Amino acid sequence: MYIVCVAACPTGIAHTYMAAEALEVLGKDHGWEVKVETQGSTGIDNAITAEDIARADGAIIAAEVAVEGMDRFEPLTILECAVADPIKQPDAVYETMMHLINTN
């Protein structure tokens, strides 16, 4: 399974990158291939491409601010959650994403 993710918080510093790391660990723990784009204080890093979206099974948007280019993800099953959720509740994020993918 290939999941694309975006992590973004209001200041774009600590929580953005903590969430990105937590999403990568979540993917590794559950056998997912994960690509995480961060939208932080330095701008967009590790941008998700059209090719990434074309092969993705779903998207996790862990954000507390408006995500640039949200329309890119329209063809995908999307889980939107708080930026802290992958950090504090990774099992809930995983279970919710799997439920959404399996019901779509």
Instruction: Cite the active site residues.
Output: 9
* Residue 73 near residue 80 (C-beta atoms within 8 A): no
Strand partners, 43: 40
What is the chain written as a DSSP string?
Answer: -EEEEEEE-SSSSHHHHHHHHHHHHHHHHHT-EEEEEEEETTEEESPPPHHHHHH-SEEEEEESSPPTTGGGGTTS-EEEE-TTHHHH-HHHHHHHHHHHHHH-
